[in-house]
Amino acid sequence: MKRNLVDRVYEWFSPQEAIRRYHARAVLHMVEKRYDETVKREKRRYDGASKGRHYSDWHSPNLSVNQEVIAALATLRERSRDLSRNNAYAINGVRILRNNVAGTGIIPTPKGGTKRQMKAIKEAWAAWADKTNCDYDDMNTFYGVQALVMKTVIESGECLIRRVRGTSKDAVPLRLQVLEGDFIDSSYHTGVWDTDETITFYGIKLDRRGRKLGYWLHKYHPSEVGSESEFVPASDIIHVYEVERPGQIRGVPFSCGVMLRMKDLDDYEFTERIRSKVAAAFAVFVKEDAAAEDTTASTDGYDLERIEPGMIKKLQPGQEIQVAQPPTTQGFGEFVRNNLRGISAGFGTSYEALTNDYTGVNFSSGRMGSMEFNRNIEHLQYNLIIPRFCDKVFPWFIEACQLKGVIPYEAVITATWTPPRRQMIDPYKEIQALKEGIRAGLYSWQEVSRMLGNVPDELAEELLQDKDMWDKLGLKPTSDARFDSNRPPDPAEQEMLKDDKP
């Protein structure tokens, strides 16, 4: 601490006063230091956490994900369904995601068993999945059930699939009953832990670890027939929804972030249509001069009541025509496009796919938009529909086959899944790139086959059948790699051909 002349004078005449001054100055120094540190911390704060008059209407309560979802789920679900019935963009958004995620079907490839078991499983799967026998309502094949599940998740936020065991008369005693989230009876809610260390949270029974033990489900849709419910164990239920926060037990519609935007845009377009209809009506008003002479003695049919093409009409003295001029709207198209870009972003689709508007799109921009859209689709395929639905249905199918005696109980069989192939933007160049990738060791032939929507085992078997067919017919088509003149000659094949010559 530096001392000045005044400090030295106090030290000479009154040492006690000098000590008091030094103590007060030290305390002041500490206060200033803490103040400086506080100011620095405030300068390092997040702008998003700023509070003031400008952000006073920003309501952001700190609630758990389940508190937020349960409070808004019913309203979100109802509005999403209404939009999916009446709003063209919502209808197309749901359709695009469903068709791209599920498409013609995500196909399994069984693994792990003997050849005999694999053959039996493939035959049983074809008899069960390719027919409507797998559907509780007997309306869809398994791949149609996939599409229905995906559509329900997109539109309503969640979907339940209930296992219904069949009878001994069924080739595979298993049916899938697809239920909407409305079937969960939310009135079963305790909110406190029971003596058996479980808790029932709005129709879903959980243990201490948060694992789902079962569901209270309405026997019929609650808006149709009463509200009688029954408890169904979690082992017989598949609950499909997109998890957005840890611990989430219910799902919300995909359009929840853009519902108000779609509704406002729909209302705006409706008013514009009305304005255009008024403008097309071409209303005409006849204005009379009150000071003009009396015209009541005019001949019949002289009054102007209708305008016809090519008409020449003389008005009475004191009359003039005024044409209604409805108000015009500037920038209507750009305003709609900007809103549709936000709606497509909320749905996770490209603007072009949602609106079918490809004006101003070139090859590069179209390819970039397609690539980003494909990433969203792959996320939904590999992180939602395959692990949350397909991988859980297949063990049910294997168990049903074991009960039926198709395969033994000790057989352990799993499956890999092949989504439908993605359409190529430039097929020739992309196929050439895939061929070069296989030759360079960047891809395996089986991986590329799955990328193109083929099941590798089935494709290899078909290629072998093609080879035998060409050899039997004595033909050498260029589609067979052995006879492709553009392919470099293989020395080993050349030697084999020499040996075959007489």
269-294 pLDDT, tens digit each:
888 888 787 777 666 666 666 665 55
Is 339 part of any domain? yes
Residues 426-448: tens digit of each pLDDT: 888 888 888 899 988 988 988 88
Is 126 part of any domain? no
Q: How many domains does the chain have?
A: 2
The answer to whether the beta carbons of residues 237 and 230 sit under 8 Å apart is no
Is 391 part of any domain? no
What is the Cα–Cα distance from 447 to 320, expressed in whole angstroms? 79
What percent of the chain has pLDDT above 90?
42
Is 330 part of any domain? yes
Q: Which range is most confident: 44-58, 362-376, 401-415, 483-497?
A: 401-415
**Confidence category of residue 19, pLDDT binned at 50, 70, 90:** confident
Is 283 part of any domain? yes
- In angstroms, the first-to-last Cα distance of the chain is 111
Half-sphere exposure of residue 80: CA atoms within 13 angstroms, side-chain side = 25
Domain C-terminal end among 355, 373, 388? 355
What is the Cα–Cα distance from 309 to 330, expressed in whole angstroms? 30
What is the Cα–Cα distance from 215 to 371, expressed in whole angstroms? 39
Give the residue-averaged pLDDT of 5-9.
Answer: 70
What is the Cα–Cα distance from 375 to 188, expressed in whole angstroms? 39
Which two structure tokens, joined as six digits, stand for 489? 């000659």
Residues 317-374: tens digit of each pLDDT: 777 776 666 666 678 888 899 999 999 999 889 888 899 888 888 888 888 888 889 8
CA torsion through residues 214, 216, 221, 225, sign = positive
> Could you tell me the residue range of the domain that residue 24 belongs to?
5-46
Is 443 part of any domain? no
**Confidence category of residue 21, pLDDT binned at 50, 70, 90:** confident
CA 259 to chain centre: 14
Nearest in space to 136 (alpha carbons), one of 95, 111, 170, 93 = 170
Task: Supply the pTM of this predicted model.
Answer: 0.77
Which residues, 6+ apart, have CB-to-CB distance to 417 below 8 Å?
106, 107, 108, 109, 386, 390, 391
pLDDT of residue 500: 54
Helix/strand/coil (H/E/C) assignment for every residue in 149-203: HHHHHHHHCCEEEEEEECCCCCCCCEEEEEEEHHHECCCCCCCCCCCCCEEEECC
The answer to whether the beta carbons of residues 281 and 256 sit under 8 Å apart is no
CA-to-CA separations, 71 to 75, 257, 270, in angstroms, rounded = 9, 16, 31
Is 348 part of any domain? yes
CA-to-CA separations, 190 to 200, 295, 418, in angstroms, rounded = 6, 84, 42
Residue 114 pLDDT exceeds 70: yes
Is 10 part of any domain? yes
pLDDT of residue 307: 64
User: Average pLDDT over the chain, rounded to whole?
Assistant: 84
Residue 299 pLDDT exceeds 50: no
3-state secondary structure at position 212: strand
Q: Where are the beta strands (DSSP E) in 262-332?
A: 284-288, 319-323
Give the residue-averaged pLDDT of 409-436.
Answer: 88
> 125-134, 211-220, 350-359, 397-406: which range is least confident on average?
350-359
What is the Cα–Cα distance from 420 to 49, expressed in whole angstroms? 45
